[in-house]
Structure 1
């Protein structure tokens, strides 16, 4: 039996302890006294504790120590000095909150665990690998579920949703508000599973293109799952087959159409639900997936696709920090808006490849004619050729909500395709040319801005941290009364002096010297 120590950053409720199981001990702040008395819990006094002092209190020598990247201030010391593997479960990298993608990467680099794994964001593993972290893998989210199969019962609901409608879930709230006959409730875990078995159709919408728990909860309960069609890089289609184990929708129209179809053909929905349920029992039960984790850590055995080989995008350190910060910003806009229409205008192909895993991103990449064949070949090998629209030229009337560029030569042409109140991102501008760049952009009604989003009473700045500058286009003929107030998104114009100050703050000495040399040559 595996002897495990789990380090938790916050108090753990008594219901999470197995009081008769002494091979798994949880160390956390303020543990329940009953768990401590049963020998299943150890108290952590503060966030910066020495884990070796915790190990000394154990009744055994642990086979592994596990923790989660959730709270960045949780800083256990001495992990590298333990005589067993240390395993980091990656937290949510698909939204701001406990820690964004870049913060989580830095956190994992600081702690230096032996293994790193995720169950909701396999599409982000390449960023962790490119950042130098080791032994990365992913597993189905069913590993964290409490196993329960409700008894078979009659269908008393047509269409239901059970779960959170918090301010984080912008797209979910947008869709549910448009489903007039969907029974929407928040219930406890067991009651929700029971309702899944009683419904003809269970609707699911991910928070931000992630492979969430509800996919496996519905299959476990024997329900018919209708979920949003997220990208292949999430691993969903490696585990389940659309139309066989579950159903998908790609937009609001397809969602309505499939609801009507399966309500009219309940026998087809029932067959898919039964096949999906059996698939879960055969392959993805919590016990089976937990064993896969142990097999990898102790026997170095992990099969495809859990080593991440389903995501064929090439790993590269080219402009890594720029790519991570840009991805964070675009991913957050993707969370906020029902759809994002984006033009990548002759920028690095690695950046475009990163963005391809955002499911509601309508992505156009304008490529120089002499590069088109090379880029097409690379994207075919990466399996993302159907997720990116390659163009050598654009139609005169085409417009985009968001334009990304890293050059100033064709500035006017790029801005011509940016919609009123759209966002322009100029990547890695030359410091010595910032004044000229801003004067030029002002002629085209593009002004430097700061973006922030309000979540649960806290403001998060969507900053590129010196990797680029964000502008908004405000045309005189546009609707001056229209404000971009979607999901508490705040837009604030800032003076050019502040833009320059921010860029100087984040520039390294090397980058500053390169900019200086380039300006002298010009």
Structure 2
């Protein structure tokens, strides 16, 4: 390892414009998909491109005459647009950076299959540290938690001379997509926009950051109870964040602390009630927004991640933020439910949770406790007693029962 100037290589999974890859070093090489090779973005000292699908990273670097890096960060999400192979021969200090693992059918399975077949020194969780225990079961890698790793750097676009306006801040705002891939936003936001309780904003990073700083709040409707990058983009502006409640296993109560650095809601009615109390938002918003900005600057932001990476270089041990102890779940035991069965149930409910506002579950199994412990990650699920379950006509009802092969099956109850 060249300790005086270690080379960092980042493989990026998304269109770098607007989803820019993190800049972790002044000596960084950034790889993007071939179709994004002509995009303009801040890539560090060098950029290169790689194909969609599976490829041998060692062979590709040799072909392009690119030296092997000292540190390698392979960034992926549930879409897995590429599968880089031969990681162990490219870099010993390699990290798989896991973003969205809550979208599309079997997103965890897809990523675990890759992670367990390549030798990574560590797995870094961003959106879904709640999924760390699934990877721990199959993969021999240290686990880290850097939830702001994929967040856009909006801080550099803020005008520090822009005078705060405490008594005439504008209507709360929302930015982001509301299409078919974000169904909860499509359910919640149109009614609030129609009632002029929220403004839908768009534009460049400069325009977004300025509008948030001038607004009394910014709404964050997550896709599937994920600790999304928007949490940390809003944080950089000092704007009050109003976000749907997450699982305690995914940063609720630690990263996001209701009443201290954010406000939360569970239903559209709750969000409507919060937005209707303008005086309360004005009274509390500045303090809560400032608290989250302070914590971002002091702990979560890209500059702190770079500090931890620099400390890792100097000490020859990884100083990145470890995963919280709360992410640990069941120990392996013959008495426990089969791993594949647990993951089957969880991934099916994960996808249903993304698409439905309220789901009622009844589990007929000796392992119901374990299934429920996995599923409490998903805050819109309910687990009523059987008689209440059968009478609940307002929810999507799912009955789970194991068949003769001890495999759980999910049934829709009409």
Length-normalised TM-score, structure 1: 0.66
Shift of 1:356: 0.9
| Residues in 2 aligned to 1:333 and 1:46: alpha-carbon distance in whole angstroms | 28
| Residues in 2 aligned to 1:196 and 1:207: alpha-carbon distance in whole angstroms | 21
Structure 1 residue 164 corresponds to structure 2 residue 177: yes
Shift of 1:73: 6.1
Q: Is the 8 A contact 2:12 2:76 kept in 1?
A: no
Q: Is the 8 A contact 1:171 1:335 kept in 2?
A: yes
Name the structure 2 match of 1:458: none
Structure 1 residue 257 corresponds to structure 2 residue 232: no
Q: Is the 8 A contact 1:143 1:289 kept in 2?
A: no
Matches within 5 A, 1:91-490: 91-96=99-104, 100-141=107-148, 144-148=151-155, 149-150=158-159, 151-154=162-165, 155-179=168-192, 180-181=195-196, 182-264=198-280, 266-293=282-309, 295=311, 298-302=316-320, 306-316=322-332, 318-348=337-367, 349-364=369-384, 396=387, 398-399=388-389, 422-427=397-402, 429-430=403-404, 467-474=407-414
Q: Is the 8 A contact 1:200 1:263 kept in 2?
A: no
Q: What are the superposed Cα offsets for residues 401-451 of structure 1, whole Å, 9 maximum, x if unpaired?
A: xxxxxxxxxxxxxxx889898443333x115xxxxxxxxxxxxxxxxxxxx
Q: What are the superposed Cα offsets for residues 221-250 of structure 1, whole Å, 9 maximum, x if unpaired?
A: 010111111111002321242212111122
Shift of 1:336: 0.9
Matches within 5 A, 1:16-165: 23-28=27-32, 29=34, 31-32=37-38, 40-44=46-50, 47-56=53-62, 57=64, 60-70=67-77, 71-72=79-80, 74-96=82-104, 100-141=107-148, 144-148=151-155, 149-150=158-159, 151-154=162-165, 155-165=168-178
Indicate the SS of the match to 1:2. coil
The 3 A distance-change label for structure 1 pair 48 and 96 is: closer
CA radius of gyration, larger in: 1
Q: Is the 8 A contact 1:423 1:472 kept in 2?
A: yes
Shift of 1:295: 4.5
Name the structure 2 match of 1:3: 7
Shift of 1:220: 0.8
Q: What are the superposed Cα offsets for residues 120-178 of structure 1, whole Å, 9 maximum, x if unpaired?
A: 00111011111234212211225533142343454452221111112122222212123
Shift of 1:26: 2.0
The 3 A distance-change label for structure 1 pair 335 and 268 is: same
Indicate the SS of the match to 2:185. helix
CA RMSD of aligned residues (A): 3.4
Unaligned stretches of 5+ residues in structure 2: none
The 3 A distance-change label for structure 1 pair 218 and 322 is: same
| Residues in 1 aligned to 2:143 and 2:273: alpha-carbon distance in whole angstroms | 39
Length-normalised TM-score, structure 2: 0.82
Unaligned stretches of 5+ residues in structure 1: 367-393, 401-415, 432-465, 475-522
Larger RCO (alpha carbons 8 Å, 6+ apart): 2
The 3 A distance-change label for structure 1 pair 205 and 136 is: same
The 3 A distance-change label for structure 1 pair 192 and 142 is: farther
